[in-house]
């Protein structure tokens, strides 16, 4: 039922009488709403530690974590580990993205390519990458190549799937147009195929970033002599909860930063449809 | 293009001989069609749905790969196509859309000039979705004309536009054709549009040319002209539609007001 809401005191000269329906949706967004939950959780941690409800052996006090982070930065261990982990993740991600994109384009543009590539990748997709680690250790040892390749293997699947899907959903009429304009194969790929597949690719990239961090943690915790994961494993052996928490915070920061970077790329690369979304 | 231009003389831009095309065993869409179009000639192609209009146009555009058939087609080297949808790439700005695949020195400058010619000066950096339907179709016209086509193939290019925009597009297209002088084959289902624009109107039926009429109404073509009405009735008759003029008089005067 529409109710007629008549203002009790008519404000100024302009009249505003309109039927208003009861709102069923969630309403206007709260500013910085996403941060409120995080702040509440941090607050609970501080209160819990201060009142002694949280045993420091299970979870260190927040101020100890900050102090430990300071010490780790001072003696350089944190930066060193961060750089090692960051380089690993970046190399694996870069390799996986490149391979996944090339395979998606080849498989999307040629039927022979599709017959050769698509089947094996669908099979690979059903094997969790982490289950391949024992085999990769036998083949590549436990050095950096094994770690980078494990991350790349985890990354290329989502990139392939989403880019291939994006590419296949480009409308055929654009290919027809390109034919009438007499563009070359290379121009077609550059001006029609790649930009058309970009939304799919970027979706794949967001999944890929998450996968790369997951694979990073696993390869670093299993067998590493450097990196954030190694730092955490050592701390675990000596019961240093504070160092473990610092490591986890660094992982969280890595994830958030990477996701923000992808969103930024998305905003830039998809500006042609930004006004549609907003 | 599959055809060669070697035997083309100056007397014809397009030469189609005994063209057959069929999509299934049951029957042909084009059944031995012959058609010549002179350089600079504006030909409108009318026909009921399924009469083979679009099939012919796609054959001339070289877009009917894999369709069964035979016959001879000779078209010029530079052929441009205007589709019913503007078919602008949504991820390219207007100018990049217009000069896509254009390999000449100063392509960007020529693209800007052509955009100005269709009344879109200064919109080089706009995204396609920021344009109205009529503007998008003008941009697609610019994309075709910037290639200096000897033959312009248009498949119901104004079919998706509203009536007022369509009238403006007619004026624009006539002016552009006078400047660039391509041979034009315009597929349309709108008899008035055909008479207003074309030098020659062809009616396609059952895959062959059934009616081929030259239009001698001069450059100012008004629907109030009795000759216009006669031609209109004649073409509608060829299309199998009987038009009762008295019944639609009210509507046609409205159209004229909009046109002026």
Q: Is A188 inside any structural domain? A: yes
Q: Is A34 inside any structural domain? A: no
Range of the domain at A224: 62-269
Q: Which residues of B touch A191 (CB under 8 A)?
A: 89, 92, 96, 100-101
More confident residue, A11 or B237: B237
Q: What percent of chain B has pLDDT over 70?
A: 88
Cα-only R_g, chain B:
19
Q: Is A239 inside any structural domain? A: yes
In whole angstroms, what is the distance from residue A78 CA to residue A243 CA?
10
More confident residue, B158 or B24: B158
User: What CATH number should be reported for the domain holding residue A204?
Assistant: 1.10.3720.10
Query: Model confidence at A1, in pLDDT bands (50, 70, 90)?
Result: very low
Whether the pLDDT of residue B227 is over 50: the answer is yes
CB A176 within 8 A of CB B86: no
Ramachandran region of residue B82, left (φ > 0), alpha (ψ -120 to 50) or beta? beta
Which has the closest alpha carbon to A110: A167, A158, A160? A167
Q: Which residues of B touch A174 (CB under 8 A)?
A: 87, 89
Encode pLDDT of A25-74 as tens digits.
Answer: 888 888 888 889 989 999 999 999 999 888 888 888 899 999 999 999 99
Q: What is the mean pLDDT of residues A249-273?
A: 88
User: Can you give the pLDDT at residue B244?
Assistant: 59
Nearest neighbour of B101 by CB, restricted to A174, A187, A198: A187
User: Can you give the pLDDT at residue B104?
Assistant: 87
More confident residue, B114 or A56: B114
Which residues, 6+ apart, have CB-to-CB distance to B139 below 8 Å?
A: B86, B88, B94, B97, B98, B115, B118, B120, B123, B128, B131
Q: What angle do CA B40, B207, B238 make, to 5 degrees?
A: 80
Q: What is the mean pLDDT of residues B225-241?
A: 84
What integer best gives the mean pLDDT of chain A?
88
Which has the closest alpha carbon to B72: B152, B5, B161? B5
Whether the pLDDT of residue B140 is over 90: the answer is yes
Number of domains in chain A: 1
Which residues, 6+ apart, have CB-to-CB distance to B81 below 8 Å?
A: A177, A180, B61, B63, B144, B152, B153, B154, B155
Nearest chain A residue to B79 by CA: give it: A180
Q: Is A113 inside any structural domain? A: yes
* Main-chain dihedrals φ then ψ at residue A19, nearest 5 degrees: -75, 135
SS (H, E, C) chain B: CCCCCCCCCCCCCEEEEEEEEECCCCCCCEEEEEEEECCCCEEEEEECCCCCHHHHHHHHHCCCCCCEEEEEEECCCCEEEECCCCCCCCCCCHHHHHCCCCCCCCHHHHHHHHHHHCCCCCCCCCCHHHCCHHHHHHHHHHHHHCCCCCEEEEECCCCCCCHHHHHHHHHHHHHHHHHHCCEEEEECCCHHHHHHHCCEEEEEECCEEEEEEECCCCCCCCCCCHHHHHHHHHHHHHCCCCCCCHHHHHHHHHHHHHHC
Q: Which residues of B touch A183 (CB under 8 A)?
A: 100-101
* Main-chain dihedrals φ then ψ at residue B209, nearest 5 degrees: -75, 120
To which residue do tokens 């038009």 refer? Answer: B243
In whole angstroms, what is the distance from residue B84 CA to residue B61 CA?
14
Residues of A with CB under 8 A from a CB of B: 173-174, 176-184, 187, 191-192, 195-196, 198, 272-273, 275-276
Across the interface, whether the CB atoms of A180 and B100 are under 8 A apart is answered no
CB B39 within 8 A of CB B152: no
Residue A5, judged by CB atoms within 10 A of its CB (0-12, 13-18, 19+), counts as: exposed
Q: Which residues of B touch A275 (CB under 8 A)?
A: 127, 129-130
Across the interface, whether the CB atoms of B91 and A276 are under 8 A apart is answered no
User: Can you give the pLDDT at residue B67?
Assistant: 87
CB B231 within 8 A of CB B213: yes
Across the beta sheet with B79-82, the strand order is B79-82, B151-155, B183-187, B42-47, B200-205, B208-214
How much is the ipTM here? 0.81
Q: Is A31 inside any structural domain? A: no
pTM of the model: 0.77
Across the interface, whether the CB atoms of A179 and B100 are under 8 A apart is answered no
Nearest neighbour of A181 by CB, restricted to B92, B100, B127: B100
Residue A102, judged by CB atoms within 10 A of its CB (0-12, 13-18, 19+), counts as: middle
Query: Model confidence at B113, in pLDDT bands (50, 70, 90)?
Result: very high
In whole angstroms, what is the distance from residue A142 CA to residue A105 CA?
32
To which residue do tokens 């349309």 refer? Answer: B188
Encode pLDDT of B82-108 as tens digits.
Answer: 999 999 999 999 999 999 988 888 899
Encode pLDDT of B25-69 as tens digits.
Answer: 777 788 889 999 999 999 999 988 888 888 999 999 999 888 888
Whether the pLDDT of residue B6 is over 80: the answer is no
Q: What is the mean pLDDT of residues B132-144?
A: 93
User: Can you give the pLDDT at residue B9?
Assistant: 47
What integer best gives the mean pLDDT of chain B?
84
Query: Model confidence at A272, in pLDDT bands (50, 70, 90)?
Result: confident
Q: Is A225 inside any structural domain? A: yes
Q: Which residues of B touch A181 (CB under 8 A)?
A: 100-102, 143, 147
Whether the pLDDT of residue A278 is over 50: the answer is no
Q: What percent of chain B has pLDDT over 90?
A: 40
Q: Is A38 inside any structural domain? A: no
User: Can you give the pLDDT at residue A8?
Assistant: 55
Encode pLDDT of A100-157 as tens digits.
Answer: 999 999 999 889 999 999 999 999 989 988 889 999 999 998 888 999 999 999 999 9
In whole angstroms, what is the distance from residue B179 CA to residue B200 CA?
19
User: Can you give the pLDDT at residue A192?
Assistant: 93
Preferred mutation among B58, B100, B102, B128 to probe A, highest tally of A CBs within 10 A: B100
Which residues, 6+ apart, have CB-to-CB distance to B144 below 8 Å?
A: B80, B81, B82, B152
Q: Is A10 inside any structural domain? A: no
Reported as half-sphere exposure (CB side, CA atoms, 13 A), residue A103 has a value of: 23
**How far apart are the CA of B81 and the nearest CA of chain A, in angstroms?**
7
Which residues, 6+ apart, have CB-to-CB distance to B124 below 8 Å?
A: B93, B94, B95, B111, B112, B115
For A53-76, b/e burial (b = at least 16 CB within 10 A) is: ebeeeebbbbeebeebbeebeeee
**How far apart are the CA of A90 and the nearest CA of chain B, in angstroms?**
28
Across the interface, whether the CB atoms of B101 and A276 are under 8 A apart is answered no
User: Can you give the pLDDT at residue B5?
Assistant: 45
Across the interface, whether the CB atoms of A174 and B89 are under 8 A apart is answered yes
In whole angstroms, what is the distance from residue B207 CA to residue B27 CA?
10
């Amino acid at each position: 039922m529409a109710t007629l809401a008549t203002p009790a005191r008519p404000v100024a000269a302009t009249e505003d009488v309109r039927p208003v329906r009861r709102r069923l949706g969630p309403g206007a967004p709260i500013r910085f709403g996403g941060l409120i939950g995080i702040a509440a959780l941090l607050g609970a941690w501080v209160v819990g530690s201060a009142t002694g409800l949280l045993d420091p052996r299970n979870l260190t006090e927040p101020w100890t974590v900050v102090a430990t982070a300071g010490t780790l930065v001072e003696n350089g261990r944190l930066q060193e580990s961060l750089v090692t982990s960051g380089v690993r993740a970046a190399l694996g991600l870069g390799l996986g993205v490149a391979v996944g994109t090339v395979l998606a384009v080849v498989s999307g543009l040629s039927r022979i390519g599709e017959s050769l590539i698509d089947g094996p990748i669908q099979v690979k997709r059903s094997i969790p990458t982490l289950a391949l680690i024992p085999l990769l250790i036998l083949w590549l040892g436990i050095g950096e190549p094994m770690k980078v390749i494990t991350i790349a293997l985890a990354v290329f699947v989502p990139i392939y799937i989403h880019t291939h899907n994006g590419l296949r959903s480009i409308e055929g009429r654009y290919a027809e147009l390109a034919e009438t304009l007499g563009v070359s194969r290379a121009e077609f790929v550059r001006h029609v195929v790649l930009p058309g597949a970009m939304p799919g690719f970027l979706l794949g990239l967001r999944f890929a970033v998450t996968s790369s961090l997951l694979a990073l943690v696993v390869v670093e915790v299993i067998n590493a002599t450097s990196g954030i994961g190694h730092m955490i494993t050592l701390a675990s052996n000596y019961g240093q909860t504070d160092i473990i928490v610092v490591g986890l915070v660094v992982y969280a920061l890595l994830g958030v930063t990477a996701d923000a970077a992808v969103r930024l790329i998305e905003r830039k690369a998809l500006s042609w449809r930004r006004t549609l979304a907003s | 293009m599959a055809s060669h231009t070697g035997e083309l003389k100056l007397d014809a831009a397009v030469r189609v001989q005994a063209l057959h095309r069929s999509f299934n065993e049951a029957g042909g869409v084009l059944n031995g069609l012959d058609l010549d179009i002179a350089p600079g000639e504006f030909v409108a192609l009318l026909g009921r749905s399924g009469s083979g209009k679009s099939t012919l146009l796609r054959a001339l555009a070289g877009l009917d790969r894999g369709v069964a058939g035979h016959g001879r087609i000779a078209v010029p080297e530079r052929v441009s196509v205007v589709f019913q949808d503007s078919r602008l790439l949504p991820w390219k700005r207007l100018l990049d859309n217009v000069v896509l695949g254009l390999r000449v020195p100063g392509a960007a400058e020529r693209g800007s000039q052509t955009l100005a010619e269709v009344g879109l000066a200064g919109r080089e950096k706009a995204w396609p979705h920021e344009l109205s339907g009529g503007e998008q179709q003008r941009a697609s016209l610019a994309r075709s004309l910037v290639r200096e086509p000897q033959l312009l193939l248009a498949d119901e290019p104004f079919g998706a536009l509203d009536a007022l925009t369509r009238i403006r597009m007619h004026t624009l297209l006539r002016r552009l054709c006078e400047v660039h002088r391509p041979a034009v084959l315009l597929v349309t289902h709108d008899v008035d549009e055909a008479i207003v624009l074309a030098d020659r109107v062809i009616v396609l039926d059952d895959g062959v040319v059934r009616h081929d009429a030259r239009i001698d109404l001069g450059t100012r073509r008004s629907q109030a002209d009795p000759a216009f009405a006669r031609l209109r009735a004649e073409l509608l008759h060829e299309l199998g539609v009987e038009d009762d003029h008295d019944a639609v008089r009210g509507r046609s005067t409205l159209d004229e007001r909009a046109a002026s």
